[in-house]
Structure 1
Amino acid sequence: MLRGTLTIDPAFAVGPVRPRTFGSFVEHLGRCVYTGIYEPEHPDADADGFRSDVLDLTRELGVSTVRYPGGNFVSGYRWEDGVGPREKRPVRLDLAWHSSDPNWVGIDEFMAWCAKADVEPMMAINLGTRGVQEALDVLEYCNAPVGTHFADLRAANGHPEPYRIKMWCLGNEMDGPWQIGHKTAEEYARVATEAARAMRMIDPELELVVCGSSSSSMPTFGAWEHTVLAESYEHVDLVSAHAYYYEVDGDLGSFLASAVDMDHFIDSVAATADAVRAAGKHTKRIHISFDEWNVWYQKRAESRPPSGDDWPVAPVLLEDTYNVADAVVVGNLLVSLLRHTDRVHAASLAQLVNVIAPIMTEPGGRSWRQTIFHPFALTAQHAKGQVLQVALDAPTYSTSRFGEVSVLDAVATHDAESGAVTLFVVNRSTDAPLTLDVDLRGVGDVSVLEALTLANPDHTWAATADDADSVLPQANGSAAIAEGRLSVELPPVSWSVVRLG
């Protein structure tokens, strides 16, 4: 059996647990919106056409913010198409996903859904095919009091009170050649800066996210961030980061270590932002919005959009089925986001429903939780107070992608008000259990309130509509405290949460 040690001390705080770390993402892609959050014909639909079962699961997941309406979709989106009487809304081609969008759901419907789900909206504007004027128009529609053209249009559509949306993304993945209106760093920096400057003339208190690299593997990674931030630094608050991971050719060991790449990504973006800060003699600090992250098997058939003359509404797209190993990686990526809470001020699991999602639905039928639902929900529920640095020592193993990697990864949080300490921990070993010894002398007198572990002898087990519950996080009876030390046994390929108080 492997052995690892870990020390927890509230004196070593990284920063506060940020509720916005537990955001998600709704894009007009596949069945995320139509037959996902919105299906008026469903037996569980409410008066506004929203699936109440999905609303219930969204609240259970603990989602804090939801980014909308894209994603690649936003780079060709005309927001005006999605407001006003539904029968007058045009059907448009979505070039990003080779689909058609009937615009049954738009800004007003999304804001109504956010209110029901108790989430904060994070709106993205189209800087692909559009520009500064359209950014101002949609901002006026959403946030201005009545008395102007677009605010009065909102009121005429039944919403007299401003939405007061705070978080806005200045486009999406504009570094990507696949993006409609793809731009060079210099071109994007200019339009994003002008949009940000103009939007702040309407509301100086907006929180604006400028596009960073769409992945750390992009050839322009680093240079893109530097160029964009050198132009926009004083006009924006956050820079975006996007990353997706999947198991390549059966290389489970490298896949389980995906958080190593996320750590590197975050550290690199933060270093680049700080270099621009120093060179420009800026006083404020730019932080990171990791507003797309998840496991996504991009080379599977599920990720191939329609083609030719086939432009369907809400096709089955990106509907990955997640197994136990995928859930362990998602839990580990949350560990990475939390331990960088000093620089990652927002994050969005992409996406929420059906499309690479923790929640799945059948049209007209059932909904269920995928395996990745559970580590996200438990982390969102129990991470409170301050994120702590943890001193960790454990054996390593060799990976083809990342070299030598620790079999153990962990982060802890401490709520000073209640005294609660929560440990989130991963055993990356593919075949060996690990006994973890945790030094709690800095914490004081605590006991184990709960210990849950997500694992299965078959790490390829995946939830379905017929069986979503036979593999769930289970009580870990090995967790015990003696003489100021916690001992707990962690199965291979496992994610665990241990609550102390």
Structure 2
Amino acid sequence: MTPAATIDIRRDRRHAIDPMIYGHFLESAFFGNIEGGVFDEGSPLAYGGDGARNGLRRDVIELCRELGLPVVRWPGGNFTSAYHWEDGIGPRNSRPRRLELAWGSEESNHFGTDEFLAWCSEVGTEPYLAHSCRDVDEAVRWVEYTNYGGDTEYTRRRSRNGHPAPYGVKYWGLGNEVYGDWQMGHRSAAAYAADAAEHARFMRAVDPSLKFVAVGKTDDREGWTETVLGAVGNQIDYLSFHLYGATAQLIDGDAEYDAIVAQSLYFEQQIVEYSDLVGAIAGERPLALALDEWNIRHVEPTTWPEPQPSDDGGTIAREVDGLPTRPAHRVNRWSPRTLADALFYAGVFHALHRAGGREVPVAMANTVNLLNANGVIVARPGGAVRAATYHVWDLYQNHLGPIALAADVRSPGKLTAVRQGDERDHHGEFRTCPATVPDLDVSATQTTDGDSLRIAVINRHRDTAIRAGLTLDASRDALPARAAAKQLTADDVLASNSLTAPDTVSLRDLGPVELTDASYDFPPHSITLLSFDLT
């Protein structure tokens, strides 16, 4: 049979993949991220005793250790804009309970700086703290509390709170989405840039090793990026941007499959365009991008009953028959991740791998969210489970190589209207743009020593296996006839995992597989990893 597609891997075009692109995000007061998620005081699944570990969920920590988390951003998100870090230190029963305006709840402040950093230590991840960028002195004292090694009131407080040695937090965010009127402290680009420059200057006076993430903006008609980089570009290390996909699968079911998996093309377009824009403005300054919020939203009508989490890891059934299905603007934060979502995530990782070789690469990415709230781990009072998307992180972070190679791919595909994330027109409908969506999307990598070639292939086609001929440096003979294979798929494209069915979507080890005439059949709606021994 003649292959329908060809994949040629080129070792002469390569670049490193930054492991920080596999990062995560936690937001306080946000749909079970913290309380009922990583932190659950009094739970039999949590640590007891005194100190900052008290209340941290052991089962969640184990799943995080198993996966490996390179970096985690906290406390937000929108929560950041009104957060005062000193509310969250000291004896828990003395901490103030605050009305929280970002998400309309009350914040206990029982999970604060010391709890987050203790959790990071337990998990083995790099903390990334985000400050509102609204108060220079508050930001400076936060750095003093976490990083300074001298003898001051703040370092004494840190010691009294159980951590005499500095924490050494390296990554710091200067605000969050301050261009938006949904943020407390919303301001113009010029005002924000001046504030960010002052914050960076004095925070770095406490610890010169800090790395800063400033607020960027992809929808940049008003020149936000140029204004910010003009004022603070020499003081920062990353410029952030946020991307969200969207699906109405809760309304339209698996008819949404093609729209879900195609949205990684929209992400890649946005990444490329913003990288080019920042590169043109920054000139010779070494800068990187931080995609420090990204996900795909499951949206539904506001006329439906509010979703509530079920004990099994999904949502409690609701009666919606006869209720309007449009417009669909509310994000269901408890809707579990599906196989279709997993293929979308994989496509975004392929885009990030390719972007790693650009002049301004994406060198950090943080998915929204790590836990619950559409996260890669789901926690309920009775336990925790790996979501379908957990296995995408496992596959790409732990089984691919750290060196990206060029992949020249010819694949069948179709011209379709690609959804532009969660952008809407004046009728409230999703914006789309025509593009050809290839059935196969490939990310090729190798190990540092070059002895192992690892090729990840997404087959987006819902129903058809695609046979692809594989070559290495344009040679069929350079590629071994046998590979080790791993695969992520399921019968149902909207399959998800639960506490009672934790492996409905899971990464399966297929063992050694034989290529036929240097070709391999990639199953429909799947992700396949082929690993070749080149020694």
Name the TM-score, length of structure 2 as normaliser. 0.84
Tell me if structure 1 keeps the 8 A contact 2:339–2:495: yes
Change (3 A) 1:355 1:303: farther
Greater mean alpha carbon deviation, residues 79-88 or residues 318-327: 318-327
Looking at structure 1, the residues matched to 470 and 222 of structure 2 have their Cα atoms a distance apart, in angstroms, of: 37
2:389 to 372, 390, 406: 372
Partner of 2:503: 469
Change (3 A) 1:303 1:373: farther
State the number of aligned residues.
Answer: 478
Give the residue type in structure 1 aligned to 2:506. L
Partner of 2:435: 403
Tell me if structure 2 keeps the 8 A contact 1:146–1:155: no
Asked whether 1:421 is paired with 2:453, we answer yes
Tell me if structure 2 keeps the 8 A contact 1:427–1:493: yes
Give the residue type in structure 1 aligned to 2:412. P
* Mapping for residues 159-170 of structure 1, pairs under 5 Å: 159-170=163-174
Asked whether 1:126 is paired with 2:132, we answer yes
Tell me if structure 2 keeps the 8 A contact 1:478–1:488: no
Partner of 2:530: 498
Looking at structure 1, the residues matched to 452 and 489 of structure 2 have their Cα atoms a distance apart, in angstroms, of: 25
Q: Which whole-Å deviations, capped at 9, do the CAs of 1:227-269 have from their partners, x for residues lacking one?
A: 2112211010111121121224644323211111111111112
* Mapping for residues 191-340 of structure 1, pairs under 5 Å: 191-213=195-217, 216=218, 218=219, 220=220, 223-248=223-248, 250-278=255-283, 283-299=284-300, 318-340=333-355
Looking at structure 1, the residues matched to 473 and 235 of structure 2 have their Cα atoms a distance apart, in angstroms, of: 45
How far apart are residue 303 of structure 1 and its match?
Answer: 11
1:359 to 359, 369, 377: 377
Looking at structure 2, the residues matched to 303 and 37 of structure 1 have their Cα atoms a distance apart, in angstroms, of: 27
Partner of 1:386: 403
Looking at structure 2, the residues matched to 268 and 177 of structure 1 have their Cα atoms a distance apart, in angstroms, of: 25
Change (3 A) 1:99 1:145: same
Secondary structure of the equivalent of 1:409? strand
Secondary structure of the equivalent of 2:506? coil
Change (3 A) 1:234 1:437: same
Partner of 1:117: 123
How far apart are residue 186 of structure 1 and its match?
Answer: 1.7
Partner of 1:135: 139
2:71 to 61, 65, 69: 65
Q: Which whole-Å deviations, capped at 9, do the CAs of 1:330-349 have from their partners, x for residues lacking one?
A: 11111111221230111112
Tell me if structure 2 keeps the 8 A contact 1:59–1:118: yes
Secondary structure of the equivalent of 1:204? coil
Secondary structure of the equivalent of 2:199? helix
Q: Which whole-Å deviations, capped at 9, do the CAs of 1:413-460 have from their partners, x for residues lacking one?
A: 111426111111111223322112211257946464521222233211
* Mapping for residues 333-348 of structure 1, pairs under 5 Å: 333-342=348-357, 343-348=361-366
Percent identity, aligned pairs only? 32
Unaligned segments of structure 2, at least 5 residues: 49-53, 309-330, 419-433
Tell me if structure 2 keeps the 8 A contact 1:225–1:269: no
RMSD: 2.4
Give the residue type in structure 1 aligned to 2:437. V
Q: Which whole-Å deviations, capped at 9, do the CAs of 1:122-155 have from their partners, x for residues lacking one?
A: 110112xx32221111111111113123222212
Tell me if structure 2 keeps the 8 A contact 1:433–1:489: yes
Tell me if structure 1 keeps the 8 A contact 2:307–2:334: no
Tell me if structure 1 keeps the 8 A contact 2:471–2:479: no
Partner of 1:310: none
Q: Report 1 or 2 for greater relative contact order, CA contacts < 8 Å, sequence distance ≥ 6.
A: 1
Looking at structure 1, the residues matched to 31 and 305 of structure 2 have their Cα atoms a distance apart, in angstroms, of: 10
Greater mean alpha carbon deviation, residues 15-24 or residues 63-72: 15-24
1:54 to 55, 60, 68: 60
Give the residue type in structure 2 aligned to 1:25. F
Change (3 A) 1:304 1:17: farther
Q: Which whole-Å deviations, capped at 9, do the CAs of 1:84-131 have from their partners, x for residues lacking one?
A: 11110010111111011101110011111111000010110112xx32
Name the TM-score, length of structure 1 as normaliser. 0.90
Secondary structure of the equivalent of 2:230? helix
